Amino acid sequence: MISLDGKVAIVTGATQGLGADIAASLHAAGASVLVTGRDAERGAAVAAALGDRAAFVAADLAEDEGIAACLDTAVARFGRLDILVNNACLYVDPGFGATRADWRRSLDVNLVGPALLMAQAADLMPSPGGVIVNIGSVGGKFGAAGRMLYPASKAAIMQLTKNAAVTLAPRGIRVLTVSPAWTWSPALESMAGSEDRADRVGARTHPLGRVGRGGDVGDVVVFACSDMARFMTGGDLAVDGGYSVLGPDQGLGPRPWFEGEGE
C-alpha cells in the first residue's frame, strides 16, 4: 500500500465523477483532502462521505476569488499543502459553432485557472516535496470530429505540465499529467446508460476490454503523488486501457477491414 499519511491535497472539480473518485483514492491513501467545485451541495456530500481529514470549499477556477479560496481553505483547515490535482473541466464543446465567449469560458476553467492555481500553489508547497497532477485526456492527443474546445484545452494542459515541470524542478516540485480514456462518469453514463453497455462498446477501442473506472485513475494519481514516483516529472501517465496505442484500424491491421469485419 502506498501511504500519503500527513500529506494535504486539493482536488478541483471533485464534486462528482472522476474528481470525487480521485479525492477518495487520495483520502484512502492517508492524505487530507480539500474537495473543491461549484456545486456546494454535492461537494459537501463528497467531503462528508470521506469523513475525517476531508473538507469542501465552493470555488470556480474561472474566478481569482475561487483560486484564492482553494488555497486559503487548505492552509487554514489542514495547515499545509503538498498535492494539487487539477481536475476541474468544462465539457461543453460546440466545435466550430463556438463563440468567442465559449472559448474564453472553456479556457478559463480548463487551462487558465489551473495554470494560475499551479503557480500560486507551488509557493505553498514544501520544496522539495510538492506534487502537481494535471488531468489530461486522450482527447488532447487525437483528432475528433465536431469538437474543438475540450481537445484544445487538454492538449494545452499537457504542454503546460512540461513547462511547469522544468520551471519547478529546481525547487523539487514535480509536475505530471495523468490522462484517462473513456472513464465511467456522469458524462459517459448519459451516453451509455449502463456500465455494462459502456464496457461492451468501449471494448472495441480499449484493448483491455472495458472503459475505465474512477478508481483506476485515482490509483495512478496516488502513485504519482507518492515517493515511488520521486524521479518522475514532466511526463504523461496514460490510464487508458491501451486506447492510445491503437491506430485508426483499432489494432486489427488491414485484413479484417477489407474482409468486412471492420465495416
Which residues are the active-site residues? 150
Q: In whole angstroms, give the CA distance from residue 170 to residue 130.
A: 12
Whether the bond into 128 is cis, omega within 30 of 0: yes
DSSP states of 227-252: GGGTT--S-EEEESTTGGG--TTTTS
In angstroms, the Cα distances linking 229 to 27, 59, 126, 223 are 18, 29, 16, 6
Closest-CA residue to 136 (of 193, 76, 220): 220
**Cell digits of residue 199:** 464496457
In angstroms, the Cα distances linking 214 to 18, 25, 81, 143, 171 are 5, 9, 23, 24, 31
Three-class secondary structure assignment of 96-146:
HHCCHHHHHHHHHHHHHHHHHHHHHHHCCCCCCCCEEEEECCHHHCCCCCC
Q: In whole angstroms, give the CA distance from residue 19 to residue 40.
A: 14
Q: Which residues contact 185 (CB under 8 A, 6 or more apart)?
A: 16, 17, 18, 214
Q: In whole angstroms, give the CA distance from residue 17 to residue 19.
A: 6
